[in-house]
Structures are given as C-alpha cells and as structure tokens.
C-alpha cells in the first residue's frame, strides 16, 4: 500500500513546512581582496559566530555557512525575520553589510541536517534580489513582520520588475 513500509507502518514524511533564511555579505570579494586571506577568514569566522548566535537566539537552526553567507531554517516567519534583522544590525559592528531573503514553504530534509527543495531555491532567489542592508520576504511568507515594530524599515517584498521569471510566487 502506498504510504506504508513493508511492515505496515506509515512512512514518515521527509518534508517540513519551514521559513528559510539566506544571508549574503555585500561586497565580499572586494573585501576579501582588501584584507587578504588570513584576515578575511578571521572576519568570516566572527560573522559565522554572530549569525549562529542570532539564529539560535530566535529558535532557528543554522544549516550551513555558504562561504560569504548562511542558510538557516525556522518554524515560522516572525522568528526568521527578527533573526535576519538582528543579523543585519549585528554584523554592521564587524564592518560588514548583508542582504537577506526569506521564504516560507515545504522543505525536504536531507542527510547531514541539510535542507532542499523548491522553497530553498526560492529563498535563495529572494536573497539575490535584496539590496545592501535589505531583508526581503517572499509573497508567500506570512506578513508577520507588521508586528515587529520600528526595526522593519528596510524590510520589504521583492520588486516586481526584478522578479525572476521562473519563480512566479515572488510577485507582490
């Protein structure tokens, strides 16, 4: 029978509804060239520590470092948005500026605590549309940010003219 194993137990889904957060350091290549490998690596380590701390403080899960950014997942958009804002503000003290993108959707649970699926791809695309210092939220992420107060001044939805053609749900 579909949905059951050969011993009659239901199959556990390897998919979860989650909010994915992608961050990216603005101007990372230029900054790395300016600092040199050793100093850049040291700065990235401090960045990663700060990102992990904010993700955990907002009850998310740090999935992985992406070289000059990070991927994290949350059980809802409000915590993810708050975390993104805190990361954006916190890394500023390190002399860094980030962009962030969030999307809520069904994610595939992969080996080694990684995540995949369309929601992850959309989150990455949303992040790529964000400008320096912006936290961009996809259309299908609930509008929880309205409850977050004054720190949401640079939180916005993707601009329609920059919408990727292959990802229709990034429209306003």
Q: What is the pLDDT of residue 172?
A: 40
> What pLDDT score does 3 carry?
53
Average pLDDT of the chain to the nearest whole number: 84
pLDDT tens digits, one per residue of 126-160: 999 999 999 999 986 655 444 344 444 455 555 54
Q: What is the pLDDT of residue 165?
A: 39
At 169, list the tokens: 């749900």
Instruction: Pick the range with the lowest mean pLDDT from 8-12, 53-57, 97-101.
Output: 8-12
Q: Is residue 4 part of a domain?
A: no
State how many domains the chain has: 1
State the average pLDDT over residues 93-98: 97
In this predicted model, which residue has the larger pLDDT, 172 or 32? 32
Tens of pLDDT, residues 52-89: 999 999 999 999 999 999 999 999 999 999 999 999 99
- Do 25 and 98 touch, CB atoms closer than 8 A? yes
CATH number at residue 152: 3.30.70.1230
Whether 125 is in a domain gets the answer yes
Residue 23: inside a domain, yes or no? yes
Residue 3 placed within a domain: no
Q: What percent of the chain clears pLDDT 70, i.e. is strictly above it?
A: 73
3-state secondary structure the chain: CCCECCCCCECCCCEEEEEEEEEEECCHHHHHHHHCHHHHHHHHHHHHHHHHHHHHHCCCEEEEECCCEEEEEECCHHHHHHHHHHHHHHHHCCCCCEEEEEEEEEEEECHHHCEECHHHHHHHHHHHHCCCCCEEECCCCCCHHHHCHHHHCCEECCCHHHCCCCCHHHCC
Is residue 2 assigned to a domain?
no
**Does residue 166 lie within any of the structural domains?**
yes
At 147 the pLDDT is: 39
pLDDT of residue 139: 82
Give the residue with greater pLDDT, 146 vs 162: 162
pLDDT at residue 132, rounded to an integer: 96
In this prediction, residues 5-15 reach a mean pLDDT of 68
Asked if 62 and 56 touch (Cβ cutoff 8 Å), the reply is yes
| 1 belongs to a structural domain | no
Measured distance CA(156)–CA(171) in Å, rounded:
12
- Per the domain annotation, does 83 fall within a domain? yes
Domain containing residue 156: 15-170
The lowest-confidence range among 29-33, 118-122, 146-150 is 146-150
């Amino acid at each position: 029978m579909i949905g059951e194993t050969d011993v009659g137990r239901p199959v556990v889904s390897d998919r979860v509804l989650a909010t994915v957060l992608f961050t990216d350091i603005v101007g990372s290549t230029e900054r790395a060239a300016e600092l040199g490998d050793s100093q850049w690596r040291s700065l990235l380590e401090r960045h990663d520590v700060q990102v992990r701390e904010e993700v955990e403080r907002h009850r998310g899960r740090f999935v992985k470092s992406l070289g000059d950014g990070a991927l994290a997942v949350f059980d809802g958009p409000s915590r993810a948005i708050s975390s993104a804002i805190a990361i954006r503000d916190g890394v500023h003290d390190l002399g860094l500026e980030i962009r962030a993108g969030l999307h809520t959707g069904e994610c595939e649970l992969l080996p080694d605590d990684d995540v995949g699926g369309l929601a992850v791809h959309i989150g990455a695309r949303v992040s790529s549309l964000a400008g320096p210092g912006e936290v961009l939220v996809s259309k299908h992420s609930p509008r929880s940010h309205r409850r977050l107060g004054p720190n949401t001044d640079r939180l916005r939805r993707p601009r329609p003219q920059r919408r990727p053609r292959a990802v229709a749900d990034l429209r306003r």
